[in-house]
A and B are shown apart, each in its own frame.
Chain A
């Protein structure tokens, strides 16, 4: 049995010397060997490439090359080294001290530049520097490769499909660096139950990625041992404060924002707890969004006297939950679009349904997911919300800016949207929101209207919901249309437009809640009634 030497002697530093002049080559070889370097002398670029290919780039610690050689120049060798992704630092020797050559050499990746005849002392100093440069480059390369591998593992874990899932999960993850602090996992903590966990650890580094996965593992283990979610959160909050942040002596503590969704299939309910993440949304099968909790809150790891936010208990006939991290909101704000439209675009791009989204300005990890609970005849989310926002009555004068925001959001979500349909969507949205802010909110800043646009990618139809807090009023749509058309009154045209632009128009709460459906099919342009309708409902509100 042979025993490997646990501490092999380090090999001598090896220098590749490329010089066509035999005398110069030998002088350099002898001088460097005297200093303890192993030297491989060759007479040109081709010979250098042969040696590098034969022994491997890793066998050398730096390259010293002449610039002017008969078959090719030292810069050509430099370019070849870069092309082969080599981290080998190179020193260029030349008799021609042209400034342009120096600049080209340094731009090409050379670490130093020496004039011929070579001063051996200067050469030795330059070689020490070059060898250190090679070592640093190789170390950086190895770290980058390890991080890329970690990132691949993280992506693989996020995309992993569990067999016979009771839910349909769609997810996209874009770490700011190779790996990130956002994470999402899903598992069965017990019979008839399913848990989805979204975490966002402060920072975008490897520590954040590690802590995020660690937290998810702890939660999963505890839930499978019948610990309740609030208990798990309290325990981990204490762990973070007492063990993690304290042990690291970190000047800035590490925090974990988390959103937990616990689905009970037996009772068709869902419990949601959020600590510091954006508020998740529930999309019932017909598409009108429900916000389950208030956004924000305190993440784990900040305060000792941590109170787990009240869990939200929602009955759930089907539909889907949308969960995302604040990186999506940051990017959407910078880009001037709605976060939901950005999330939809990312999901579509991941599925190959559209070109990739340019996330160049993203300053944080981005994770967006949909968790769909199958119900009768519907397996995946049908009505994707693209815009869901609240506007107060004082924002009436901002309607043009809001229109531009909707335009950008629609553009990022559905880039191939037909221009005519886009115009109709924007005009119908404008009319219905103006009506809500003016008549439902009475232009008051404390009164809020809710605005939503959703999209069905299969039929390419859109739904617009506008809800205001007013009481609405009784009105007769046909009578309004007839009056506006035949009597040229200066009112009701907003309503007329909404009716004509949409394929379906529904009012609830006496008009305080409006639903419009628009799609690519031609609208039915029904003519207005030809005779005035006698004794219609009184119009207390101009639509």
Chain B
């Protein structure tokens, strides 16, 4: 599984789309490319002010998936940016709320 990652310089937005469930078995394949996209050279400003994580294709997010979201969230916070999470499945929304990530990220129904 590969994420679809794009940078919109005009909108200063980094878009990361996950093509399925964000679970332990997919996180292993996803995290390297996401880490690379989030990398900001020391001393440089991040080229984005918003990170949009698109989970519209996901029906389940497990603890490893949540940990990946936390990692993205922390990167966003350190860069002074916001994290938006797009979801479609109500169970994904519930999982994010259960684990209080709604306090730190904007949850948007896609």
Contacts and interface: CB of A to CB of B under 8 A. Distances in A.
Q: Do A and B bind each other?
A: yes
A165 B100 CA distance: 54
Interface in A381-426: 397, 399-400, 419-420, 423-424, 426
B23 A497 contact: no
Interface stretch (A7-15, A293-301, A372-380, A427-435): A427-435
Contact of B99 (A424, A426, A497): A497
Contact of B95 (A400, A427, A525): A427
Interface stretch (A60-68, A487-495, A504-512): A487-495
B24 A399 contact: yes
Interface stretch (B9-17, B39-47, B61-69): B61-69
Interface in B86-110: 90-91, 94-95, 98-100, 103-104
B74 interface: yes
Contacts of A337: none
Secondary structure of the A contact surface, majority rule: helix
Contacts, number: 60
Q: How large is the interface on A (under 10, 10 to 19, 20 to 34, 35 or more residues)?
A: 20 to 34
Interface string A475-508: 0000000001100111101101100110000000
Secondary structure of the B contact surface, majority rule: helix
B62 A431 contact: yes
A69 interface: no
A362 interface: no
B70 A490 contact: yes
8 contacts: A420-B94, A430-B23, A484-B99, A491-B67, A493-B99, A494-B63, A497-B95, A501-B98
B38 interface: no
B73 interface: yes
Given A497-B62, A497-B98, A420 B70 contact: no
B6 interface: no
B63 A485 contact: no
A528 interface: yes
Contacts of A494: 62-63
Interface in B29-86: 59-60, 62-63, 66-67, 70-71, 73-74
A2 B101 CA distance: 99
Nearest to B73: A488
A490 B71 contact: yes
A397 B94 CA distance: 26
A423 B66 CA distance: 16
Given A400-B25, A420-B91, A501-B98, A493 B60 contact: no
Nearest to A431: B63
Nearest to B103: A485
B91 to A, nearest CB: 4
Contacts of B100: 485, 528
